[in-house]
Amino acid sequence: MSFDNAYEALTEQNDARWAFGTGFDDPLAGVDTALPPGVDAAVLSGYCLALADDALIASQRLAEWVTRAPELEDEVALANIALDLLGQARLLLARAGRTGEAVRDEDELAYFRDAHEFRNVRLVEQPHGDFAETVARLLVLSSWRLALFTRLTSSEDPVLAAIAAKGAKELAYHRDYAAQWVVRLGDGTAESHRRMRAGFDEVRPFLAELFAVGDVERAATAQGVGADPAAALDEVTAVLEQVCSAATVDAPPIAPATEVSGRVGEHTAHLAPLLAELQGVARAHPEGTW
Amino acid sequence: MTATGLPRAREIAEAVTDPELPMLTLADLGVLRGVELTGDGTVVVTLTPTYSGCPAMAEMRADVHRGLTAGGFERVRVRTALDPPWTTDWISPRGRHRLAEHGIAPPGTAPARGGPVPLRLEPPRAQVRCPRCGSPRTEELSRFSATACKALRRCTDCAEPFEHVKEI
């Protein structure tokens, strides 16, 4: 790009200079978003919304590490992982908003829903403890999401299948990053070992929910658009055991659960303050675009 | 109108450079997936994102749009193709050469996907040559670098740190 002078680059006419305000506000621009035959719009929308909310909330939490991480490389790594998840959230929100009962854009879904309308699992909304707890949670999250996304590459919805195929490549790097740190800390000093174990203790109460089959998952799986989370249990358990064995910490046991909480809007008290920060600017300037 | 026709449109679109790796064109990167001309004279350019959250994507679309408009094409549409997903295998030989010339180690062959993705806990074996001195003895400092698509490495011979485009 070139402009005659610096001022010209800042004027309205050259708005396209900026990543924000380019007018390209739809991450699915130009993608064929027609609904495949036999797929119910509300089911697909609800399922994509759940996967989007997991990524959006996890991304916001990870971004809190910026300026707080133990060293610069990890600050950059966590921000990169958060950015990947934000990208997945945008694509999925766009898919959810386009196929639901009323067309809603991704900003409306991200910024103008209250806590009880979010469908994320409670694991991702928990506040961060220390770095060990963060990598314990990231290992669980990325292993679980990678197992789901791998299955979703054969979803009946071609858009969701494409989002999953793209996301799976990213999640594999997230899982590797988390696993390397779990091993380093667990098999490190007495103090890092103690903290790594404590990190898994904090994560444990939120594991069962990941594999529970609620109405959203049941309907989406029945239509061939979703993946059965219960079917991913063995794969995730094997990954956690592999990593924890190398890290000399006990792998967290996952008790099968039947009840969902976050997926039906029942959240812990930690979600509302997170949303207040995430949504503050958009709600203060509801006409703003970016 | 300075120029019309598909060859000219393709030429313009292929010359647009990546905002974050400006030594590469979108064509070198494999992000440019197609240039077509419809019956009503609209140029339709298809791009594919590298990573889901790549912040350069909006810039790329804007740069393509601006380049073609400046080139005299009045109707321009930039499409997104998510499928098949981008892979570093699509970076052209010229693109790889240009990366190395600029001190960024190009990616090796992307891992084949299908079924569960194996988890490797051992440090990856150094298959990445130092783009400055050519030594194969390099080590990974961080799996994520200034952008999600790059890792940070160091050469144990010449001691220089360098970036490496990761295989996805």
Residue A5 in this model has a pLDDT that exceeds 60? no
A11 inside domain: no
Number of domains in chain A: 1
A14 inside domain: no
Is A275:A118 a contact under the CB 8 Å cutoff?
yes
For chain B, what's the residue count? 168
The DSSP call for residue B90 is: G
Distance CA B49, CA A244 (A): 35
Domain with A207, as residue range(s), is: 38-283
Token pair 């991913």: residue: A232
A246 inside domain: yes
Q: Scanning every residue of chain B, which has its alpha carbon at the shortest distance from the alpha carbon of A59?
A: B53
A5 inside domain: no
pLDDT digits (tens, 9 = 90+) for A134-191: 999 999 999 999 999 999 999 999 999 999 999 999 999 999 999 999 999 999 999 9
pLDDT given for residue A19 in this prediction: 40
Interface test with A, best of B82, B83, B88, B89 (most A CBs within 10 A): B82
In the CATH hierarchy, which fold is given to the domain comprising B4-80? Answer: GMP Synthetase; Chain A, domain 3 (3.30.300)
User: Where residue A212 sits, what CATH number does that domain have?
Assistant: 1.20.1260.10
A47 inside domain: yes
Domain residue ranges in chain B: 4-80, 103-108+125-167
Interface of B with A in 97-156 (CB under 8 A): 113, 115-117, 119-121, 141-148, 152
Residue B22 in this model has a pLDDT that exceeds 80? yes
Cross-chain Cβ contact B52/A88 below 8 Å? yes
pLDDT band (50, 70, 90) for residue A290: low
A162 inside domain: yes
Helix (H, G, I), strand (E, B) or coil at B141: strand
Q: Which residues of A touch B148 (CB under 8 A)?
A: 80-81, 83-84, 170
Interface test with A, best of B46, B119, B154 (most A CBs within 10 A): B119
pLDDT given for residue A6 in this prediction: 55
Q: Scanning every residue of chain A, which has its alpha carbon at the shortest distance from the alpha carbon of B19?
A: A1
A55 inside domain: yes
A182 inside domain: yes
Q: How many CB pairs under 8 A join A and B?
A: 133
The DSSP call for residue B25 is: B
Q: Dihedrals φ, ψ of A4, to 5°?
A: -70, -35
Query: With a threshold of 0.95, does the pTM exceed it?
Result: no
Task: Annotate A64-73 with b (16+ C-beta within 10 A) or e (fewer).
Answer: bbeeebeeee
